[in-house]
Amino acid sequence: MQRLMAVIDNPQRKFKSAHVVGTKGKGSTVAMLAGLLRGNDLKVGMYTSPHIMDVRERISVNGAPISESAFTRLIAEVAKAAKKPRVGEPTYFEMVTAVAFLYFVEAGVDIAVIEAGLGGRLDATNIIHPEVIGVTNISLDHMELLGRTVDKIAAEKAGVFKQGVAVISSPQRPSVDGVLRAAAEKSQAPFSTTGKEHVFSYRFESSREAGPHTRICVTTPTSHFEHVRAPMMGDHQAINCALALGMLDVLKSRGFTIDDRKSVDGLAGVSLPGRMELIREGPRVLVDGAHNAASVDALMRAIGQNIPYDSMVIIFGCQRDKDIPGMLRHIRIGADKVIFTTTGSPRSADPVELAARFTEMSSKMCQVAEDLSDAFSIAARAVSREDLICVTGSFYLVGRAKRLLTK
């Protein structure tokens, strides 16, 4: 990645950035921080992954995805650079990351909020020198690449820490917190967490005007945010929102002109495709890209807290390298019936095997569907108007569900 960047004149050095790493909640935190900054009339780039419907979703400025013409032109420029001697063979993610950095320079962003990929230390995004680093919840995922324990995974994530760059972390389990603090001390990076150095609390409430929602209170070194409504559903999103507010506070100290009231106004309009997204009524179909045990747990809790239903049918598919037993345990708690299917990816877990594993741990009804279309047909016959169909386990599956129902 460093060699590729050198060929295209190191665009990552030509704009200011904020970097978000972690296991779950990265995309939501990026979206919320970008919303807070846009509320202050800043031109904000956003780089996230994966996409749901179109690769251009990954790269946006002030909420608008990169145009087809700009993406085509810049991917051609990167492809040409990749053929230079000694560059090597960039991965798909490295190529798209390079396009994002070129586009942010071209668009003249005031700041870009960058989501790391699956890791940290060796991630393609780890060539930026950001103004602030945020760490979302760290749990088990991509264990074959990052390590078999959360502490090893945390050490990989902490590979983005840089001397003098402030790090804000969401609350972590004690061992993970210790790993992150030790890495920050070694990197000479100021470190703080929401809930410790930053006072943080949240509560769930419901009103006739706003419906079910979560409000948070955050006290940072320069601000006090009182009863701010988290724009996305679930306690986990309240935690991500607090992290975004902590990162915003650091950016104030880095010379950005930030008004708290404008920030909250910008936050109110934030949403993110594929996260607790209701894509159809009659029957209701909700999609969420939860793809590890912790994310599925958060999803089940958020649905139970925010969405009334009589019974829930879950259409589930995941990649075979995931913590399948952990995901199935949490699905067992929330689902009344489960339909297992393929994600449509070559790395998809076998739905027959998923069903067999689920049957070993639960007496709840389950079926296997040949493909997603078949799964929807089975689910539609099983639900009434007050029921809910939830599609989860993989962003691949969520993207296919949105395309299928759009047709």
What is the average per-residue pLDDT within 41-50? 96
Are residue 179 and residue 82 in the same domain, yes or no? yes
* Amino acid making up residue 18: A
- The model's pLDDT over 98-109, given as tens digits with 9 standing for 90+, comes to 999 999 999 999
Q: List the CATH number of the domain containing 301.
A: 3.90.190.20
Cα separation, 134 vs 193, whole angstroms? 10
Residue 166 and residue 292 in one domain:
no
Q: In this structure, are 286 and 362 located in the same domain?
A: yes
Among 289, 313, 344, smallest CA distance to 141 is for 289
Among 268, 297, 322, the domain boundary falls at 268
The verdict on 240 and 165 lying in the same domain is yes
Are 354 and 318 in contact by the 8 Å Cβ rule? The answer is yes
Q: Which residue among 268, 296, 324 closes a domain?
A: 268
- Under the banding of pLDDT at 50, 70 and 90, the label for residue 11 is very high
151 and 288 housed in the same domain: no
Split at pLDDT 50, 70, 90, the class of 123 is very high
Q: Quote the number of domains for the chain.
A: 2
| Token pair 């090597």: residue | 88
Model confidence at 147, pLDDT cuts 50, 70, 90, reads low
Q: Which tens digit of pLDDT belongs to each residue from 172-202?
A: 999 999 999 999 999 999 999 998 888 888 8
The whole domain housing 372 covers: 277-406
Q: Give yes or no: residues 166 and 284 share one domain.
A: no
Q: Are strands 337-340 and 312-316 parallel, antiparallel or unpaired?
A: parallel
Last residue of a domain, which of 268, 295, 325? Answer: 268
Inter-residue contact 16 to 366 (CB < 8 Å): no
Nearest to 357 by CA among 332, 393, 333: 332
Q: Is the pTM of this model over 0.75?
A: yes
> What is the spatial order of strands in the sheet that 211-219 belongs to?
199-207, 211-219, 224-229
Residues 227 and 353 in one domain: no
Tokens standing for 167?
């790090």
Report the sign of the C-alpha dihedral through residues 142, 143, 147, 152, in that order.
positive
- Both 287 and 253 in one domain: the answer is no
Considering the domain architecture, whether residues 243 and 343 belong to the same structural domain is answered as no
CATH number at residue 210: 3.40.1190.10
User: What residues are paired with 224 via a beta bridge?
Assistant: 219
CA 303 – CA 309 distance, rounded (Å): 9
263 and 286 inside one domain: no
User: pLDDT digit string (tens) for 238-281?
Assistant: 999 999 999 999 999 999 999 999 999 999 989 888 989 999 98
Q: Which contiguous run of DSSP H or E holds residue 134?
A: strand 132-135
Report the first-to-last Cα separation within the chain, whole angstroms. 38
- In angstroms, the CA 31 to CA 303 distance is 21
Q: Are residues 220 and 194 in the same domain?
A: yes
Per-residue pLDDT tens digits for 207-229: 777 777 889 998 888 888 888 98
The pLDDT-based confidence of 144 (bands split at 50, 70, 90) is: low
SS3 (DSSP) at 302: helix
In one letter, which amino acid is 17?
S
Same domain (yes/no): 248, 283: no
Side-chain half-sphere exposure of 151, counting CA atoms within 13 A: 5
